[in-house]
């Protein structure tokens, strides 16, 4: 199925677990955070920099790459790895989430989705088969099944109906994914409804995938509600396969997710807020472009020893951001991703020692949400 997943350790008092995912492009230690490279680039950084800060796998967006430059062009370039000069594992989403959140939807049918591009209004149709075709052209190591993503909030009956469609699409995705070196993950939907999450898990496991994603979270619901959904959903999932919580989240979400048994995360947050001049520090998030940092010649985070914190001050980075200098965005992006990846490294160490709850306590001693 393209990947191998090994579990090394399961914490005694929590659902946190330590594992290793092996793909044809190398190994991934889990739990892990995946930086997002929407348009075949993790915004502002080179692959070498991503490796320097410990990125083991990155994510790219099928919807964006299908529209521009086109998956056929990327296939002609030798696939996405070759196109973007990234030789480590790559995960692509199915395009579903972006079709439902970015494009102008025309019609959802049994066959697939008709939509207009958010860029030029051009008309497109994507089905499970088409999504698999695109992802095979991209050549990612982990491929996501095509799903419908109902908006939040949606009522029980709508989510139930949508879930059924997603299940039929998951079966078709599996049939259509014929590349032996690409691993297809199923996506659990069901909104905030325990029975629907259970129904989704059972049916997806029956279809059988080498990994399962939890979709439809971090879409506007309260954090506590998201954690509750994880509380009742992850225990239903088989332990032998990796679990991926899609589009989540903040540092606290990562810790809470790992405690509930999640292995993979992705989120645009660290790269997006970096472009708006905000950075994560061991004391919480700060907006370094604010006037209060004008004459602050200390590093972004005194506790951090990344390239940025070793060499640049808040005052300098503020100057760059306010002058709209590209280097400013590079430095905040680099630091934020380093923060997330270093956090996950610490989380893995803590799990190894059965100390993740202590780690969480220690983390919140300084960190203000």
| Closer residue to its own copies (CB): 77 or 165 | 77
Dihedral of CA atoms 332, 335, 341, 346 in degrees, nearest 10, equals -140
The contacts of residue 205 (CB under 8 Å, 6+ apart) are 212, 237, 238
Q: Least Å distance between CB 87 and its own copies?
A: 10
Which residues participate in catalysis according to the annotation?
Answer: 93, 266
Q: How far is the CB of 110 from its own copies (least distance, A)?
A: 34
Shorter beta-carbon distance to its own copies: residue 283 or 323: 323
Closest residue by Cα to residue 321 from 263, 364, 278, 367: 278
Structure tokens at 316: 């300098």
Cβ closer to its own copies: 83 or 115? Answer: 83
Binding stretches for its own copies (CB under 8 A): 39-41, 43-46, 68-69, 73, 76-78, 83-85, 294-295, 297, 311-313, 315-316, 319-320, 322-323, 325-327, 329-330
How far is it, in rounded angstroms, from Cα 338 to Cα 304? 9
Distance of CA 20 to the CA centre of its chain: 17
Using alpha carbons, select from 145, 157, 55 the residue that is nearest to residue 95. Answer: 145
Q: Which residues pair with 33 in a beta bridge?
A: 265
Name which of 312 and 339 has its Cβ closer to its own copies: 312
What's the closest the beta carbon of residue 311 comes to its own copies, in angstroms?
A: 5
Q: Measure the CA–CA gap between 125 and 134, rounded to whole angstroms.
A: 12
Query: By C-beta, is 76 or 225 nearer to its own copies?
Result: 76
Q: Give the H/E segment covering residue 260.
A: none
DSSP state of 239: T
Residue 323 CB, nearest distance to its own copies (Å)?
A: 5
| Structure-token match 């296939």, residue found | 75
Q: Which residue, 187 or 320, is less far from its own copies as judged by CB? A: 320
d(CA 30, CA 33): 9
State the minimum distance, in angstroms, from the CB of residue 59 to its own copies. 16
Side-chain half-sphere exposure of 238, counting CA atoms within 13 A: 16
Closer residue to its own copies in complex, CB, 21/138: 138
Dihedral-angle region of residue 78 (phi above 0 means left; psi in -120 to 50 means alpha; beta otherwise):
left
Q: Nearest distance from residue 138's CB to its own copies, in Å?
A: 13
Q: How far is the CB of 65 from its own copies (least distance, A)?
A: 9
- 142-144 and 90-92 beta bridge pairing: parallel
**Tokens representing 155?**
């009522």
Start-to-end CA distance of the chain, whole Å, equals 40
Separation between Cα atoms, residue 229 and residue 214, nearest integer Å? 10
Give the chain's radius of gyration (CA, Å). 20
């Amino acid at each position: 199925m393209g990947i191998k997943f090994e579990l090394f350790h399961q914490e005694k008092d929590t659902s946190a677990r330590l594992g290793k995912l092996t793909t044809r492009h190398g190994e991934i230690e889990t739990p892990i955070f995946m930086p997002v490279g929407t348009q075949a680039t993790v915004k502002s950084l080179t692959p070498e920099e991503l490796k320097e800060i410990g990125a083991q796998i990155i994510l790219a967006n099928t919807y964006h790459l299908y529209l521009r430059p086109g998956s056929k062009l990327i296939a002609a370039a030798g696939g996405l790895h070759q196109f973007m000069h990234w030789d480590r594992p790559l995960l692509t989403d199915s395009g579903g989430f972006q079709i439902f959140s970015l494009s102008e939807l025309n019609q959802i049918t049994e066959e697939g989705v008709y939509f207009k591009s958010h860029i030029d209004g051009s008309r497109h149709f994507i089905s499970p088969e088409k999504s698999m075709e695109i992802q095979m052209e991209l050549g990612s190591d982990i491929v996501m099944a095509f799903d419908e993503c109902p908006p939040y909030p949606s009522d029980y009956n709508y989510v139930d109906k949508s879930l059924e469609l997603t299940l039929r699409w998951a079966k078709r995705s599996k049939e259509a994914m014929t590349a032996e070196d690409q691993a297809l993950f199923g996506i659990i939907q069901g909104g905030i409804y325990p029975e629907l999450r259970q129904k989704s898990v059972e049916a997806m496991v029956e279809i059988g995938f080498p990994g399962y994603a939890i979709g439809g979270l971090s879409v506007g619901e309260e954090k506590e509600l998201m954690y509750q959904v994880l509380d009742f959903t992850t225990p239903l999932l088989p332990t032998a396969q990796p679990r991926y919580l899609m589009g989540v989240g903040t540092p606290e979400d990562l810790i809470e997710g790992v405690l509930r048994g999640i292995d993979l995360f992705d989120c645009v947050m660290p790269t997006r807020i970096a472009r708006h001049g905000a950075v994560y520090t061991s004391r919480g998030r700060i907006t370094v472009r604010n006037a209060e940092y004008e004459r602050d010649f200390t590093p972004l985070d005194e506790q951090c020893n990344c390239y940025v914190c070793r060499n640049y001050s808040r005052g300098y980075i503020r100057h760059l951001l306010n002058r709209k200098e590209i280097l400013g965005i590079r430095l905040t992006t680099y630091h934020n991703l380093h923060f997330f990846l270093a956090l996950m490294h610490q989380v893995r160490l803590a799990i190894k020692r059965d100390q993740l709850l202590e780690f969480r306590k220690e983390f919140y001693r300084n960190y203000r949400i």
